[in-house]
Amino acid sequence: MAQTMSPYKIDAIIRWQEETEQRTQALKNAEIINGESDEAYIERIEAMPQPRTWLEFAVDPLEDGAPKDPSKDAPGMLDPNDPLNSDSLLLSPGWSDVITGEDFDTVYFYKQSQKGRQGLLTKVSEGIYPSIVHKTAAADYVPSLWNIFQNKDGSRYEGHEVDNFWMRSLFHGTGAVWNLLMFTGIAAIGSYGARKLLENTVIGVIEAADEGIEEIMD
Amino acid sequence: MVLSEIREGIYDAYSEVTDAVYDTYTYNPPGPIPSIRWGVEKVLSKLPDPKDRVWLDDMSKGAGEVSVFAKTDAAFDRENFVSMFDRHNFSPFDGNIKKGEKKSKILAPFSLYTPTSIWPYQDRDGSRYTVHDFASKDIGIPEVLEMPIKKLMQIDLDIDQDDKSDWGGLPLFNWIADPLMGIGPILLLILIGYIGATLIPMALPIIGGSLLPF
């Protein structure tokens, strides 16, 4: 199943998350200084370090510039010989390292590092599908809660552990059927719930308005 | 039990025949008479080598994880299939086979765009298995036949330069392999569509009485 990011990359992700939090917090806490005009305030806010995407961080962690040279055929078209790119994560050999399968210890460490950091939605999605695990075939999407295959040591039996290619494809094909059924089920339940909610809300509003009108008429 | 005995018998007979052929082919009799293999190789060496062919995967295309809902993020090696369609302008090609100056495109829409959640192929290292991986897989032609096939058919089957014939070297492989790989996911979608179209309307009235308000 899948591939887990290398500890090198996870360490970088955590540094990026910390940077994002600090910058977001700084922007949130910024206030107008006495005598400062609105334009000057906006200008000052825009000049402050802004949160970056994970890729922007990976290209240039120190924000000292990332010169490009497409002829060098390096990741991100970066110039590998330019000293300004020495901080780039993309050019580090550790960037493309991966651990085959979902590595329990690495995922556990990552989940612990995320405690108290995420919103509820992210927490739920990270709990089911940790973003440090690349899902590469259908069975990787089957949540552990519904997984029925297990190794003797208690770890999850993953697709890549099936030796025969065709059996592995069958394993993932079964996962694909499950995914489609799960998606269809969620969509059906969701639309039923949404319909009920809409129905109740609309009827409630109409009934309230109706009662109000009746009272006025009486 | 009987079946496995028959299978073993057939396998033994096949091995005996191939071993005998190989031994005869490579037998070096005493004296000045050379082996058949030596003679064949001598003749084949007179024939010109076919032009080298190289399978080139376009590294700017494709992602380890093709998502349906999640946003594209190159740092996570993830790309949303809709934004991928947009980025590649609906191009169904990924890479090419280079033969001298000539290049022939590789048709790979399924390997490129099929969302991971319904993609059934995976490599032993846990990565997404695409038509490019299939292409570099060795056919398993016996070593003694590699050279005769290459010279007589005038085709370079070794497209990954490891001195062994690969599936990707077969004629038209770059046009038909990916659609063949796409049959699996398409069949799955048809199956689910069929189940959805037939079973759900049948099941609805049963559930309807107890659960649904309509």
- Asked if the model's pLDDT at residue A168 lies above 90, the reply is yes
- Distance from C-alpha of B150 to C-alpha of B158, rounded to nearest angstrom: 9
**Among B74, B118, B184, whose Cβ lies nearest the Cβ of A179?**
B118
Reported confidence tier of residue A175, pLDDT bands at 50, 70, 90: very high
> Is A197 in CB contact (< 8 Å) with chain B?
no
Task: For chain A, give the mean pLDDT.
Answer: 86
Tokens (6 digits) for B80? 């949303």
Number of structural domains in chain B: 2
Predicted local confidence at residue B84, as pLDDT: 92
- Distance from C-alpha of B119 to C-alpha of B113, rounded to nearest angstrom: 10
Please indicate whether, in this complex, the C-beta atoms of A136 and B184 are within 8 angstroms of each other. no
Identity of residue A96: S
In a domain, B76, yes or no: yes
* Tens digits of residue pLDDT in A105-118: 888 888 888 877 76
- Asked if the model's pLDDT at residue B210 lies above 60, the reply is no
* Tens digits of residue pLDDT in B127-153: 999 999 999 999 888 777 888 888 888
Give the residue with greater pLDDT, A202 vs B175.
Answer: B175
With 0-12 / 13-18 / 19 or more C-beta atoms within 10 angstroms meaning exposed / middle / buried, residue A57 is buried
- Asked if the model's pLDDT at residue B174 lies above 90, the reply is yes
Please indicate whether, in this complex, the C-beta atoms of B188 and A55 are within 8 angstroms of each other. no
B104 and B178 share a domain?
yes
B22 and B78 share a domain?
no
Express as a percent the part of chain A with pLDDT over 90: 22
Please indicate whether, in this complex, the C-beta atoms of A3 and B64 are within 8 angstroms of each other. yes
> Is A130 in CB contact (< 8 Å) with chain B?
no
Residue B125 is classified by DSSP as T
B81 and B14 share a domain?
no
B141 and B35 share a domain?
no
In a domain, B210, yes or no: no
Predicted local confidence at residue B113, as pLDDT: 94
B28 and B56 share a domain?
no
In a domain, B179, yes or no: yes
Please indicate whether, in this complex, the C-beta atoms of B118 and A136 are within 8 angstroms of each other. no
B42 and B147 share a domain?
no
- Summarize the confidence of residues A142-166 as an average pLDDT: 88
With 0-12 / 13-18 / 19 or more C-beta atoms within 10 angstroms meaning exposed / middle / buried, residue A202 is exposed
User: From edge to edge, which strands make up the β-sheet containing B102-107?
Assistant: B53-56, B93-99, B102-107
Contacts of B192 in chain A (CB under 8 A): 177, 180-181, 184
ipTM of the complex: 0.75
In a domain, B17, yes or no: yes
Tokens (6 digits) for A133? 């695990």
Predicted local confidence at residue A118, as pLDDT: 64
In a domain, B208, yes or no: no
Any alpha helices (H) in chain B, and if so which ranges? 2-26, 36-44, 81-87, 109-113, 131-135, 143-153, 173-210
B123 and B152 share a domain?
yes
Domain that holds residue B153: 49-203
B72 and B33 share a domain?
no
Contact A77, B60 (CB under 8 A): no
B70 and B127 share a domain?
yes
**Among B73, B129, B196, whose Cβ lies nearest the Cβ of A184?**
B196
Domain locations in chain A?
A: 3-136, 138-218
Reported confidence tier of residue A22, pLDDT bands at 50, 70, 90: very high
* Tens digits of residue pLDDT in A91-138: 888 888 888 988 888 888 888 888 777 677 877 888 888 888 889 999
Radius of gyration of chain B (CA): 25
Strands (E), B24-118: 53-56, 65-67, 78-80, 93-99, 102-107
Please indicate whether, in this complex, the C-beta atoms of B119 and A58 are within 8 angstroms of each other. no
- Summarize the confidence of residues A47-57 as an average pLDDT: 90
- Distance from C-alpha of A107 to C-alpha of B212, rounded to nearest angstrom: 41
pTM: 0.75
B64 and B120 share a domain?
yes
B193 and B177 share a domain?
yes
* 3-class DSSP assignment, residue A101: strand
B86 and B102 share a domain?
yes
Distance (Å) from the alpha carbon of B99 to chain A's nearest alpha carbon: 22
